[in-house]
Chains A and B, each alone.
Chain A
Amino acid sequence: MTQRSDDDGAADGFGPDLVEVFGPSQQDGGPELVQLLTPEGERIHHPEFDLDFSAEQLRGFYRDMVLTRRIDVEATALQRHGELGIWAQLLGQEAAQIGAGRALRPQDFVFPTYREHGVAYCRGVNPLDLLGLFRGVDQGAWDPAENNFGLYTIVIGAQTLHATGYAMGMQRDGVVGTGDPDRDAAVIAHFGDGASSQGDVNEAFIFAASYNAPVVFFCQNNQWAISEPIERQTRIPLYQRALGFGFPGVRVDGNDVLATYAVTQAALQRARDGQGPTFVEAYTYRMGAHTTTDDPTRYRLSDDLERWKLKDPIARVEVYLRRNGLADDEFVAAVQSEADDLGARLRDGCKALPDPSPLSIFDHVFTELTEELEEQRAGFEAYLESFEGAHS
Chain B
Amino acid sequence: MTEKITLAKGLNMGLRKAMEDDPKVLLMGEDVGKLGGVFRITDGLQKDFGEDRVIDSPLAESGIVGTAVGLALRGYRPVVEIQFDGFVYPAYDQIVCQVAKMTFRSQGKSKMPMVIRIPFGGGIGAVEHHSESPEAQFAHTPGLKVVACSNPVDGYWMIQQAIACDDPVIFLEPKRQYHADKAELDDSVSPEPLFTSKVVRRGGDVTVLAYGPTVKTALKAAEAAAGEGKSLEVIDLRTLSPLDLGPVFESVRRTGRAVITHEAHVNLGMGAEVAARITEQCFYSLEAPVLRVGAFDTPYPPSRIEEDYLPDLDRVLDAVDRSLEF
Residues of A within 8 A of B (CB): 111, 138-141, 143-145, 150-151, 153, 155, 158, 160-173, 199-200, 203-204, 206-207, 210, 363-367, 370-373
**Cβ B98 vs Cβ A162 within 8 A:** yes
**Cβ A164 vs Cβ B143 within 8 A:** no
B109 contact set on A, CB distance < 8 A: 143-145
Q: Is B224 an interface residue (CB 8 A)?
A: no
Q: Which of B22-57 contact A (CB under 8 A)?
A: 26, 52, 57
Question: How close is A191's CB to chain B, nearest CB, in angstroms?
Answer: 13
**Cβ B62 vs Cβ A203 within 8 A:** yes
Using A167-B70, A204-B66 as known contacts, list a sample of 8 further A-B pairs with CB atoms less than 8 Å apart, ordered by residue number in A. Answer: A150-B73, A161-B94, A164-B70, A165-B71, A200-B63, A207-B58, A366-B145, A370-B242
Q: Report how far A199 CA is from B107 CA in the complex, Å.
A: 28
Which among A172, A200, A367, A372 is the interface contact of B66 at CB below 8 angstroms? A200
Q: Report how far A145 CA is from B142 CA in the complex, Å.
A: 24
**Cβ A155 vs Cβ B97 within 8 A:** yes
User: Could you write out 8 A-B pairs with CB less than 8 Å apart?
Assistant: A145-B110, A158-B97, A161-B62, A162-B66, A162-B67, A168-B71, A207-B67, A371-B242
**Cβ A367 vs Cβ B111 within 8 A:** yes
Residue of B nearest to A142 (CB): B109
Q: What is the interface of chain B mostly: helix, strand, loop, or mixed? A: mixed
Q: Is B302 an interface residue (CB 8 A)?
A: no
**Cβ B94 vs Cβ A365 within 8 A:** no
A199 contact set on B, CB distance < 8 A: 62, 90
**Cβ A155 vs Cβ B242 within 8 A:** no
Q: Report how far A168 CA is from B104 CA in the complex, Å.
A: 24
**Cβ B71 vs Cβ A144 within 8 A:** no
Question: How close is A319's CB to chain B, nearest CB, in angstroms?
Answer: 41
**Cβ B66 vs Cβ A165 within 8 A:** yes
Q: Report how far A75 CA is from B242 CA in the complex, Å.
A: 40
A161 contact set on B, CB distance < 8 A: 62-63, 65-67, 69-70, 94
B66 contact set on A, CB distance < 8 A: 158, 160-162, 164-165, 200, 203-204
**Cβ B63 vs Cβ A367 within 8 A:** no
Q: Report how far A364 CA is from B195 CA in the complex, Å.
A: 18
Question: How close is B34's CB to chain A, nearest CB, in angstroms?
Answer: 15
Residue of B nearest to A364 (CB): B108
**Cβ B108 vs Cβ A168 within 8 A:** no
**Cβ B67 vs Cβ A168 within 8 A:** yes
Q: Report how far A285 CA is from B16 CA in the complex, Å.
A: 52
Q: Report how far A169 CA is from B32 CA in the complex, Å.
A: 19
A373 contact set on B, CB distance < 8 A: 242
**Cβ A365 vs Cβ B67 within 8 A:** no
With A166-B73, A169-B70 already in contact, the answer to whether A206 and B58 are too (CB < 8 A) is yes
With A203-B60, A210-B58 already in contact, the answer to whether A365 and B143 are too (CB < 8 A) is yes
Q: Report how far A160 CA is from B68 CA in the complex, Å.
A: 12
Q: Is B74 an interface residue (CB 8 A)?
A: yes
Question: How close is A186's CB to chain B, nearest CB, in angstroms?
Answer: 13
**Cβ B243 vs Cβ A166 within 8 A:** no
**Cβ B142 vs Cβ A168 within 8 A:** no
